[in-house]
């Protein structure tokens, strides 16, 4: 069975598509990759909080699925809206990679006594409203500057001294196997600096009732219920990358441990919660109740 994979054209998106292509080959399928440009790729001069609409990195790919230009979409799971477009479904979520955010600091800008080794008024690059909320929660005087572009482009901007430090998802950097030895690297603890819901995970999206739905089932990882919990809480907030919200769930010894961060328009600072329950639905409802 031939399968056309739709993906963005960035280095990371192509790594992800090729990774999934290899998995499909192991299942006896014949994949090929089709590159699609999205709104998020085309508009590079604005931060996400200044862009209109939703699905900046997914809408055009989902439209290609619906009109059958492609058979399968490979997304960074955190980019997907929490409600699927009519006619589409997430057929599989492979094993999750690293969940945490990573802070890259130019070595000459390291402050040994500062929080996250940053100077109080350092120039830090990110376009994520979630990361902005947490950075200013811990270091209110930071100068947060929008940072757009694919992962290598962002790192080059740091290298060019446009920023003192930048924040990126660790999973993307590890997948690209980038040489970052010139920077000081800090992996931010997920319980303290809460990642985006589903960060580090891939989502394989296809059409409802497509034969691929059943064929992709072997690629589903057994512990994806934690990702579902994170995204269900995000859904209660109207979900999307314009919401300053983070969630990270672990399942240990039969207990779901859920960390959340939310910066509402009514609150002067980010609010953090740690919730525990043996029941997935209960811990989800507990989190939603805290966010109301």
Nearest one of 249, 256, 255 to 234, comparing CA atoms? 249
| CB 258 within 8 Å of CB 190 | no
**Angstrom distance (rounded) from CA 265 to CA 88:** 32
Report which of 266, 268, 259 is spatially closest to residue 292, judged by C-alpha positions. 266
Q: In angstroms, how far is CA 86 from the centroid of its own chain?
A: 23
Q: Is 179 a catalytic residue?
A: no
- Could you tell me if 89 and 205 are in contact, meaning their C-beta atoms sit under 8 angstroms apart? yes
Parallel/antiparallel/unpaired status of strands 101-106 and 255-262 = unpaired
Return the HEC string of 185-212: EEECCCCCCCCCCCCCCEEEEEECCCCH
- Of 41, 79, 101, 210, which is the active-site residue? 79
Whether the CB-CB separation of 151 and 12 falls below 8 Å is answered with: yes
Q: Which of 183, 177, 182, 194 is nearest to 273 (CA)?
A: 194
Catalytic residue set: 79
């Amino acid at each position: 069975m031939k399968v056309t994979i739709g993906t963005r054209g960035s280095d990371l998106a192509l790594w992800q598509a090729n990774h999934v292509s290899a998995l499909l080959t192991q299942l006896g399928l014949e994949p090929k990759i089709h590159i699609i440009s999205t709104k998020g790729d085309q508009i590079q001069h604005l931060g996400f909080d200044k862009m209109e609409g939703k699905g900046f990195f997914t809408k055009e790919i989902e439209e290609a699925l619906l009109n059958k230009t492609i058979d399968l979409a490979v997304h960074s799971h955190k980019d997907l809206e929490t409600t699927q477009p009519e006619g589409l479904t997430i057929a599989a979520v492979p094993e999750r990679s690293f969940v945490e955010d990573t802070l890259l600091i130019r070595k000459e800008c390291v402050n040994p006594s500062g929080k996250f080794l940053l100077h109080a008024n350092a120039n830090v690059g990110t376009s994520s409203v979630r990361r902005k909320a947490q950075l200013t929660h811990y270091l209110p005087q930071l100068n947060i500057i929008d940072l757009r572009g694919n992962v290598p482009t962002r790192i080059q901007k740091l290298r060019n001294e446009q920023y003192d430090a930048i924040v990126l998802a660790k999973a993307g950097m590890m997948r690209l196997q980038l040489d970052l030895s010139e920077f000081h690297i800090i992996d931010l603890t997920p319980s303290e600096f809460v990642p985006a819901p589903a960060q580090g995970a891939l989502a394989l999206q296809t059409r409802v009732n497509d034969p691929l739905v059943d064929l992709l089932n072997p690629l589903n990882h057994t512990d994806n219920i934690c990702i579902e919990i994170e995204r269900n809480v995000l859904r209660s907030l109207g979900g999307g990358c314009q919401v300053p919200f983070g969630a990270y769930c672990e399942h240990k010894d039969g207990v779901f441990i859920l960390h959340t961060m939310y910066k509402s328009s009514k609150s002067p600072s980010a609010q953090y919660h740690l919730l525990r329950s043996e029941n997935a639905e209960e811990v989800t409802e507990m989190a939603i109740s805290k966010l109301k």
